[in-house]
Amino acid sequence: MTASHLPTPTTPVRTRFAPSPTGYLHVGGARTALFSWAFARHFGGTFVLRIEDTDLERSTPEAVQAILDGMSWLNLQHDEGPYYQMKRMDRYREVLAKMLADSTAYHCYCSPEEVEAMRERQRAAGEKPRYDGTWRPEPGKTLPAIPADRKPVIRFKNPLDGEVTWNDVVKGTITISNRELDDLVIARPDGTPTYNFCVAVDDSDMQITHVIRGDDHVNNTPRQINILNALGAPLPFYGHVPMILGTDGQKLSKRRDAVSVMDYLDKGYLPEALLNYLARLGWSHGDDEVFSMEQMISWFDLTHLSSSAAQFNPEKLAWLNNHYIKAADNQRLAELVKVDLAKLGADLAIGPDLAAVIALLKERANTTVELAQSAMLFYREPAADVALVAQHITDAIKPALQEFTTACATVEWNKAAISATMKEVLAKHGLKMPQLAMPLRLLLTGQLQTPSIDAVIELFGREVVLSRLAKA
């Protein structure tokens, strides 16, 4: 079996997304969630959401909510969960007790200072710093006297010899010597379990069959495999996807890049565009660039996952977002655009139907924020620059303007009829289109750049057009 060839599952597929709630849902996490979700959906399996909140110092309710909000916005709906590790403490204590009874774990009374001194000696000797097994029980070994008033940690009794090997779905076969792994702390002095232990127990209890996660977890995998083996639990398939790099080729950073999923909502991206883009970061289906989530589900079976880091390209995302904006329902877009229009101080009461405005403008918009900025020309009183007015609304053009204004009172109110009337006025006065169009834009919108002027006039409606042109 290679990284690109995974046997067809013979048991029900169960995947999980297990973020730590120490901040927002970032794009790397969202991509991992997407891959796990799509794989479960492809095989008619179960997608589990698990919140790994044992880091009490860094985990916050706000971060939990941010993750749930991000998943909801992306429409990555979980089938089970969310499970919270902090609500599973009784289960962890039960497993810890069994492991102590089975001698697959033991109490260690070394103080943090003693462990650090141990490591310093090893560093000085040119050895890899690690726990030296002082309290590890072995046949014929006499353990030190238990120090008074010192609460122990619980350590996992890692195998001393042999190797841990797994066929990584992304990276191929990975082998780690057990001699590289020391006896991991699996419970702190206060009894709270540690990360790798909780993950192994959860994956076992939740019958997870496939673990898809970032390659920053590769070093955790042999530890979790050894714990699962000690528990007599079946091993899932593992796939470790490379990180996403920023535009500078470095790891995505909050300082340099928009990394929070919800930042993209605020910046005017559609969830389907972001999902489509994230899917293509580290996975492909032939040359397909644009596809629905339904299509991805039908294709996604963990083949064609790349073992190379993918670079985030904002221009490519903007291009995709433009594609999805053009295809989106105008009423849906209008509801999104309203939020940004409110921020810009728009007065929707003075302008035309917003969905109709969206239909006119969306072809050229990369984001809903850009749509709102473009739409503002319909929802504010025009205030043209005096110099521009003097330049474009000259005595020479005023007769044509007046004639067009008069015609607007009776012309059939549609784009074709308005366009025909403009051409008649231009021909009569011997003018070219810009000579009339620019003054009209200034008077109606206060700016020189707009979509086709006949379409703009139609949208404004007869009453508004006559009122504003009368001010010429």
Catalytic residue list: 254
Count CA atoms within 13 Å of residue 377 on its CB side: 25
Torsion angle defined by CA atoms of residues 353, 355, 361 and 363, in that order, rounded to the nearest 10 degrees: -160
Rounded-to-integer distance, Cα 364 and Cα 367, Å:
9
Q: What is the C-alpha separation between 362 and 351, in angstroms, rounded?
A: 17
What is the CA 213 to chain-centroid distance, rounded? 14
- For the record, the structure tokens of 110 come out as 């070394």
For residue 168, the number of C-alpha atoms closer than 13 Å in the C-beta half-sphere is 25
Radius of gyration, CA atoms only, the chain: 32
Q: Are 197 and 186 in contact (CB under 8 A)?
A: yes
CB distance 200 to 96 below 8 Å: no
Rounded to the nearest angstrom, the gap between the alpha carbon of residue 436 and the centroid of all alpha carbons in its chain is 47
* Residue found under tokens 């790891």: 251
Q: How far is the C-alpha of 269 from the C-alpha of 12, rounded, in Å?
A: 35
Give the number of other Cβ atoms within 10 Å of residue 102's Cβ: 12
Taking the C-alpha atoms of residue 241 and residue 217, their distance in angstroms, rounded to an integer, is 10
DSSP assignment string, 319-335: HHHHHHHHHS-HHHHHH
- Answer for the pair 444, 418: CB distance below 8 angstroms, yes or no: no
Give the integer Cα–Cα distance in Å for 18 and 32.
Answer: 10
